[in-house]
Amino acid sequence: MAPKDVKFIDDSIKTDNDDMTTEKIVYKPRIQWSNVAVNLFIHFGSLVGVYHMLTLQPKWQTYIWFLIVTVLCNLSVCIGVHRLWSHRSFKAVRKLRLLLLFFYTMAGQSSVYNWVKVHRVHHKFAETEKDPLNFRRGFFFAHVGWYCLTFHPECEKEMKRIDMKDIEADKDIMFQYNNYEILFFIFNIMLPVLTPCYFWNESLWISFWVCFVTRFAINFTQLNFTNSANHFIGRRPYDKGQSATDNLAMVFFSFGEGYHNYHHVFPYDYRSGEFGDIGHYNLSAVLIDFFAKFGWVYDRKMVSSEMISRRVMKSGDGTHFLSHEEAHKNAIYGYGDKDIDPDDQEDLDNMKN
Ligand SMILES: [Zn+2]
Ligand SMILES: [Zn+2]
């Protein structure tokens, strides 16, 4: 269903002559046409960049530059604006924060301040009208539709209420917020596009489509699929009552951010998943641990395995046990196995005939 057709009954808004009556008004979201235009340009424009790349038109250095910038921008979103600033799941020294801020600004996903605000409200009120990414409004809305519509009034209220004091106290983040347009132009467009032109004489036309539009679209799509696919497709090993899912394809695509069911249950865990190693494709957690070795990261919050087990037993969908070694540690091969429970063994022996 197209989001523009969605109507919501808003109980909380009263009309002028409404005192004790329960008259309801219909909330009809308005389309933000400028955001629609940007979305169309980025998504369709990325095809131009992909065409240039598939027909081998860029210089080889441009492919490497494209790859490096795309990966670093994605990592700055996962590690920086998500795990560090939105969830405060670890602390980082200023030089690392500045590095993350640099690449995050290059990713161009709005100011840190706005990203954090939307994300915190999403976590606090997931699956309700207060959630800016409310999955109940459909896959398309959660993926990209929400950018193109005005917020639900209930959501707007929570945006104003959500605690942002830590972010407001960070002068680097507030500098980025107050100068966002010019910084977006310099870091998200000029720097990625002009570097190949200046250093290895790439064509401005090709660099624009490849290093700005396509690269931006990939970074943007990684984020959008976390908001959409990660609330629709996958398992719910930790809490089946939440829409968020664990989805291995998303884990791979987003450097460890696809353990979204876990993440919604334990948003303060810096690993954003039960396992923070490279074997589980959690590159973001591996890098956070790497920086911790040099003292650039400290005070990492982590959930104990006992806490995880308790939650799995209480509210998981049962799939946790399909994929974890410890779930099968008492498996038996057949009669005579020494791991058969003694009570079971006794019953079995009594049944022999
Ligand atoms: Zn989150
Ligand atoms: Zn979510």
Q: Compute, in angstroms, the gap from residue 159 CA to the centroid of ligand 2.
A: 16
Q: Which ligand is nearest to the CA of 246?
A: 2
The per-residue pLDDT for range 259-303, each reduced to its tens digit, is: 999 999 999 999 999 999 998 999 999 999 999 999 999 999 999
Q: Compute, in angstroms, the gap from residue 66 CA to the centroid of ligand 1.
A: 27
**pLDDT of 28:** 85
- Name the residue ranges covered by the structural domains of the chain: 31-322
Q: What residues have CB less than 8 Å from 196, skipping those under 6 apart?
A: 58, 59, 61, 62, 65, 202, 207, 211
If you search the block for the tokens 């290059």, which residue do you land on?
106
Q: Compute, in angstroms, the gap from residue 78 CA to the centroid of ligand 1.
A: 9
Q: Compute, in angstroms, the gap from residue 260 CA to the centroid of ligand 1.
A: 8
Q: Compute, in angstroms, the gap from residue 8 CA to the centroid of ligand 1.
A: 26
Neighbours of 150 (CB within 10 A): 14
Q: Compute, in angstroms, the gap from residue 123 CA to the centroid of ligand 2.
A: 6
The per-residue pLDDT for range 171-205, each reduced to its tens digit, is: 999 999 999 999 999 999 999 999 999 999 999 99
Q: Compute, in angstroms, the gap from residue 148 CA to the centroid of ligand 2.
A: 19
Measure the CA–CA gap between 220 and 195, rounded to whole angstroms.
21
Classify the C-alpha dihedral 226-44-207-185 as positive or negative: negative
Measure the CA–CA gap between 87 and 37, rounded to whole angstroms.
31
Measure the CA–CA gap between 150 and 3, rounded to whole angstroms.
11
Task: Tell me what the mean pLDDT of segment 128-143 comes to.
Answer: 93
Residue 23 has pLDDT above 90, yes or no: no
Q: Compute, in angstroms, the gap from residue 147 CA to the centroid of ligand 1.
A: 18
